[in-house]
Amino acid sequence: MNIEQGRTAYSAETLPDSELYIGAGWRKGARGRTAAVTNPATGRPIGDVALAEAEDLADAVAAGEAGFQSWRRMSAFQRAAILRRAAALLRERADVMARRITLEQGKPLREATAEIHFSAEVLDWFADEGRRTYGRIIPARANDVTARATMEPLGLIAGFTPWNYPVGQAVRKIAIALAAGCSIIVKVAEETPSAAVEMVRAFIDAGVPPGVLQLVYGDPAQLSAFLIACPEVRAISFTGSTAVGKTLTGLAGQHLKRCVMELGGHAPALVLADADVDAAAASLAGDKFHNAGQACISPTRLLVARGVVDRFTAAFVDRAWAVRVGNGLDATTTMGPLANARRVIALSRLVEDAVAQGARLLCGGAGGPSEHGHFFLPTVLAEVPPTARILHEEPFGPVAIINAVADVQEALIEANRLPYALAAYGWSRNATDIDAMQRHLRAGMVSLNHNGLGYPEVPFGGILDSGFGDEGGPEALREMMYTRFLSIRSPQ
């Protein structure tokens, strides 16, 4: 784990300033305000992003309502063709977009490239699924009556996306909304605007009409309050922290707006006595340190049967030591920096608290922001006491907790203890234990003996404090549509 690798080699690289896309054109904010964009691997500014004002948002809402009226009248086949063209353009431009992701967010270039290609796959799938938003004919109570139900688009959607997957998160919300026949205003994170600009250009070049897709940045509280209050905005799709999600859900409730909330997690992973220990360690370490652990479904609480905990721990720690930390543009880097200095400070405090309360630090450890960037070593804690903050608060970084459990029942109790219930994992070759996990792990998504989460065709969402609604599978389209019933009596 060497964080010196590649700190200065790319320090001079910058990005074009990022503008708002409203209606049919790119523009600066109404008052010309901007914010600096920083490379997390160097700590140095690499560009500026325009900040939207109320005047800009009002224009976007008006354009979005007009765009919806034209887009909804387009056939599902026509919409699908445009979305598939956008997917093809994402693939063609993957190298440019991936480099922008790495410069702004820090992840290794190979992960950024994979994010673009997966985003194209998401677009392809929802393009086709949008052609299958079937209704139904309902047997009527009279021979001269026809009764049917159809699925109709809600209208203009406000989407709010975080910085951890700058293109992937935005494309998922865009694909769902547009495939359903809605228009959308996407507010992306100010830390990672440039890759989103190129993403929107791909949609424009594919033929998405003006007003159907718009891109804004700015003060999150002001933008969300404005958009949620607008009567033209009919639904909210948010990915982010539980605290912010609760606030936005409350605002949406005041205006009777439908919500999809994909919120925080603290995913447990159960490794039971007869599991394939080496396979479990390899899979869970790969998932834990992917994107520097900055993923809502990242496994964090590793609950391992006492009989295999030493073997599992050794294998997992070996994987952690093998991670090469550095600038994501360096071909040898396998884990980049954290996205910002706030994450380094938050993780340092969580690790320090755990160690102070008796946890064993097996590798990595608390760090802090430096002049060279926001790096944090892959960290493994063992024997973490129940009072430690990290067992109650989502770390959202490259920190794993390994605690021993007696059996599947003790593991399930700990796994289900927190109000977070987004993802859960389990490893076992015992049919009884597999049955217990699939029945009793309380989470919106459960994957056993592998990681099968996040594909476009499967549901993606949590319960309890991890939110509600889906961003995957056919269920996702229904979040952006309503059921319309029609009953017609034939004229006599």
- Which residues have a catalytic role annotated? 262, 296
Report CA 294 to chain centroid distance, whole Å: 10
Euclidean distance between CA atoms 167 and 113, whole angstroms: 10
Q: Which two tokens stand for residue 49?
A: 């992003």
Q: Cβ contacts of residue 305 below 8 Å, gap of 6+?
A: 271, 272, 273, 275, 404, 405, 406, 407, 411
Q: Which two tokens stand for residue 459?
A: 């549901």
DSSP 373: B
Euclidean distance between CA atoms 114 and 98, whole angstroms: 8
Place of tokens 């010196």: 4
Euclidean distance between CA atoms 459 and 475, whole angstroms: 7
Euclidean distance between CA atoms 101 and 113, whole angstroms: 9
Euclidean distance between CA atoms 316 and 449, whole angstroms: 16
Tally the residues of the chain.
492
For residue 464, the SS3 value is: strand
Give the pairing type, strands 299-305 and 267-271.
parallel
Please check whether residue 339 is in contact with residue 374, taking contact to mean a CB–CB distance below 8 angstroms: yes
Q: Cβ contacts of residue 389 below 8 Å, gap of 6+?
A: 349, 350, 353, 354
Please check whether residue 54 is in contact with residue 226, taking contact to mean a CB–CB distance below 8 angstroms: yes
Q: Cβ contacts of residue 256 below 8 Å, gap of 6+?
A: none
Please check whether residue 191 is in contact with residue 492, taking contact to mean a CB–CB distance below 8 angstroms: no
Kindly list the distances between the CA atom of residue 455 and the CA atoms of 123, 361, 471, in Å, as whole numbers in the listed order: 12, 34, 10
Q: Is residue 484 within a helix (H) or strand (E), and if so which, with residue range?
A: strand 481-489
The DSSP secondary structure of 46-110, one letter per residue, reads: EEEEE---HHHHHHHHHHHHHHHHHHHHS-HHHHHHHHHHHHHHHHHTHHHHHHHHHHHH---HH
Euclidean distance between CA atoms 333 and 290, whole angstroms: 12
Euclidean distance between CA atoms 378 and 320, whole angstroms: 6
The DSSP secondary structure of 306-358, one letter per residue, reads: GGGHHHHHHHHHHHHHH--BS-TTSTT-SB---SSHHHHHHHHHHHHHHHHTT
